[in-house]
Structure 1
Amino acid sequence: MTLVLDNVSKIVVDEKHLDSISLTLQRGALNVLLGATLAGKTSLMRIMAGLDLPTSGRVLMDDADVTGVPVRKRSVAMVYQQFINYPSLSVFENMASPLRVRGVAKTVIVERVHATARLLRLEPYLKRSPLELSGGQQQRTAIARALLRDADLVLMDEPLANLDYKLREELREELPRIFQASGAIFVYATTEPAEALMLGGFTATLHEGCLTQFGPTSDVYRRPHDIITTEVFSDPPLNTIDVTKSGATLSFGDFGTVAAGRFAHLPDTNYRLGFRAHQLSLDPLDDNTLRIPATVRVSEITGAESYVHIVAANHAFVALAPGVRRLEPDQAITAWVDPQNAYLFDSHGKLAAAPAEARR
């Protein structure tokens, strides 16, 4: 089974929410929609579900055109960040409701509800009403009901955002296995690049209503086609600097390094160097690196790592440094970046050269 979005656009009061998006999603696959708030994730999911009509384009399910077919006539289950449960029913009955509608035998209902409750840590609460649960427990109930519906298409719009950290991490590990076993098409929207990487599967990166790239999650992360995709898939934000290649030199302001390796045969012109926080070092690297004198703005110690925010030549950067780095605001430091482990983009924002680590 496949879900195909064929050149789908959505315009609301002269404002384009989605711009000519084409995607093919396969059964048994987890598909992540990754983008910032207002990138178009929810708008796209509503069209997939049949809640909204596209302004142009088609939605196909198994080659059948379902554009305009209302959600009640489709095999769709949805979970939103804001949990939705039946307040008059117990947790057990909330979970069992889609099975009862389909006429599933009582013994099978009991077995499946308890199995799903164990997975989502809901067994102690099956006799309670949703109003007696915490927000996280109510969200888990909504997720459980969606899983038990056995729908062909399951849409999850930031479903773990309201859960505590430990449970969120556990579910991120469990959900891909559940999705694959169900045989449904799963679409999972998130604003968090780390969540997309943990879930795996396939990722579609969205920016201002446009699809910038779609493919296996690790490929999109490591081999983005352009600077916008790289920015969407970077948290903290992508560090960028303007550089110039002239002959055998790659320069940034008054500082330069040898334009060796993958840069050697590139045309002499201006480029933008992009590097993620872990690619910016606060410790000296080898000779073929760009040296960046900088000033500390703030350092955030997270435990085994530290995020260090710096300013250099009116550019703001973030470095992810191992260990505890207790640096004071306005402290002068030097940072280093190895161009061979950074992305190089041309004047149109297209990838001109990928990092050495992305080509392995």
Structure 2
Amino acid sequence: MQLTLEHVGKTVGPEVHLYPLSLSPVPGAVTVLLGATQAGKTSLMRIMAGLDGATSGRVSVDGRDVTRASVRERNVAMVYQQFVNYPSMTVAQNIASPLKLRGEKDIERRVRELAERLHIDPFLERLPAELSGGQQQRVALARALAKRAPLMLLDEPLVNLDYKLREELRDELTALFASGDSTVVYATTEPGEALLLGGHTAVMDAGELLQYGPTAEVFHAPQSIRVARAFSDPPMNLLPAEAVEGGVRLAGGDIWPVVLPVGAPRQLVLGLRAGALRPQAREGDVTVPGQVELAEIAGSDTFVHLRSPVGELVAQLTGVHNLNLGAPLTLHLDPRQVFLFDAAGPLLRPAARSANGGRG
């Protein structure tokens, strides 16, 4: 199914919820809507579903104009942040409801297949209120999958689950979406979730569509500082700099041997992802001395806030590092892993891709 949005915008009174945008999710694949809260993701999904009308523009499905078509006239499945299930129905009855509406045969077998795929088959005779939050969301997902809709919309479906459940369900969803049975649009605030789901990503901010393309391309070549901010967790380090002979001069007078593109302006902003900073030195590295302001261990990584001559930096170090506040710490980076932005925002040169994949 080919969903196409052409110059679609949404205003409510004096407030702009969506500036006019055009987007065509890839049929049978996953498109991630990535952006902070109030970026416009939910407004866009509601227009896709037919729950809300667009103020301007056109929505079409396989070339047919559905701009004014209601949600009942569209074959769409939607999963929300909250666990939306029929409270008086058992798990089995919840999953079976769209199958019965379509008059399908062998409903019991289909319900059990979906329940097994989502690991909720032991709970088929229970009511949703008797399940945990993660199990309730699995029921909602199973019901959406049972609908076999050509368009599936998921609005931050894992946001209310704890970390372990999010990880578990995210992996399962990635496998479920790989079948290509539906065009999937998935909204999230988490860059890591977009990278794990793959497919294509549309980066949104304050009601604007900033960039759309294959997820890896958008991550490695953000077109602007706004995109880089939205697609970096921890936030990308952004350092004002000046183009000089031999590279760039940063605050404190340090000169880094960063290769400048032809015609680069004098005033620049350097972008540096937290994972590009390392405690180990390699040939050709730039050295960044500093003091530890904060160190947090999260899983198998250590996040360090460093005060350095070039500015405040956040580093994501692999492994567990026991660092004392105020202690000196020297980090290193490959200058090729620096993003170069015009001071006005546009990307001038992406960073070289690191050997450790998405972290650079």
In the alignment, the residues of structure 1 paired with residue 327 and residue 13 of structure 2 have an alpha-carbon distance, to the nearest angstrom, of 50
Q: Is this contact kept in 2: 1:247–1:268, CA < 8 A?
A: no
In the alignment, the residues of structure 1 paired with residue 180 and residue 247 of structure 2 have an alpha-carbon distance, to the nearest angstrom, of 54
Q: Is this contact kept in 1: 2:235–2:273, CA < 8 A?
A: yes
Q: Deviations over 1:1-29 (max 9, x none)?
A: 21011111111221211111110013211
Structure 1 counterpart of 2:96: 96
CA 1:13/1:337 → structure 2, altered by over 3 Å: closer, same or farther? farther
In the TM superposition, residue 264 of structure 1 has moved relative to its aligned partner by 6.4
Identity over the aligned pairs, expressed in percent? 46
CA 1:61/1:198 → structure 2, altered by over 3 Å: closer, same or farther? same
Structure 2 counterpart of 1:269: 266
In the alignment, the residues of structure 2 paired with residue 268 and residue 75 of structure 1 have an alpha-carbon distance, to the nearest angstrom, of 51
Q: Match of 1:85, SS?
A: coil
Q: How does 1:61-140 map to 2 (within 5 A)?
A: 61-105=61-105, 107=106, 109-140=107-138
Q: Match of 2:25, SS?
A: strand
1:350 aligns with one of 343, 346, 349: 346
- Pair 1:32-2:32 in alignment: yes
Q: Deviations over 1:67-92 (max 9, x none)?
A: 12110111011110101111111100
In the alignment, the residues of structure 2 paired with residue 267 and residue 20 of structure 1 have an alpha-carbon distance, to the nearest angstrom, of 31
With the length of structure 1 as denominator, give the TM-score of the two structures: 0.93
2:145 aligns with one of 147, 158, 171: 147
In the alignment, the residues of structure 1 paired with residue 144 and residue 261 of structure 2 have an alpha-carbon distance, to the nearest angstrom, of 54
Q: Deviations over 1:290-318 (max 9, x none)?
A: x4332221101224321111223584321
Counterpart AA for 1:204: A
Structure 1 counterpart of 2:337: 341
In the TM superposition, residue 162 of structure 1 has moved relative to its aligned partner by 3.0
Counterpart AA for 1:274: G
Q: How does 1:163-174 map to 2 (within 5 A)?
A: 163-174=161-172
Counterpart AA for 2:71: V
Q: Is this contact kept in 1: 2:99–2:147, CA < 8 A?
A: yes
In the alignment, the residues of structure 1 paired with residue 236 and residue 71 of structure 2 have an alpha-carbon distance, to the nearest angstrom, of 39
Structure 2 counterpart of 1:247: 245
In the TM superposition, residue 266 of structure 1 has moved relative to its aligned partner by 4.6
Deviates more, 1:265-274 or 1:13-22: 265-274
Structure 2 counterpart of 1:51: 51
**Alignment size in residue pairs:** 356
CA 1:259/1:265 → structure 2, altered by over 3 Å: closer, same or farther? farther
Q: How does 1:172-191 map to 2 (within 5 A)?
A: 172-191=170-189
CA 1:334/1:114 → structure 2, altered by over 3 Å: closer, same or farther? same
In the alignment, the residues of structure 2 paired with residue 88 and residue 210 of structure 1 have an alpha-carbon distance, to the nearest angstrom, of 40
**Long gaps (5+) in structure 2:** none
In the TM superposition, residue 220 of structure 1 has moved relative to its aligned partner by 0.9
In the TM superposition, residue 120 of structure 1 has moved relative to its aligned partner by 1.0
In the TM superposition, residue 288 of structure 1 has moved relative to its aligned partner by 5.1
In the alignment, the residues of structure 2 paired with residue 94 and residue 239 of structure 1 have an alpha-carbon distance, to the nearest angstrom, of 47
In the TM superposition, residue 358 of structure 1 has moved relative to its aligned partner by 7.3
Counterpart AA for 2:17: H
Aligned alpha-carbon RMSD (Å): 2.1
Structure 2 counterpart of 1:295: 291
Q: Deviations over 1:17-48 (max 9, x none)?
A: 11111100132111110111111110100110
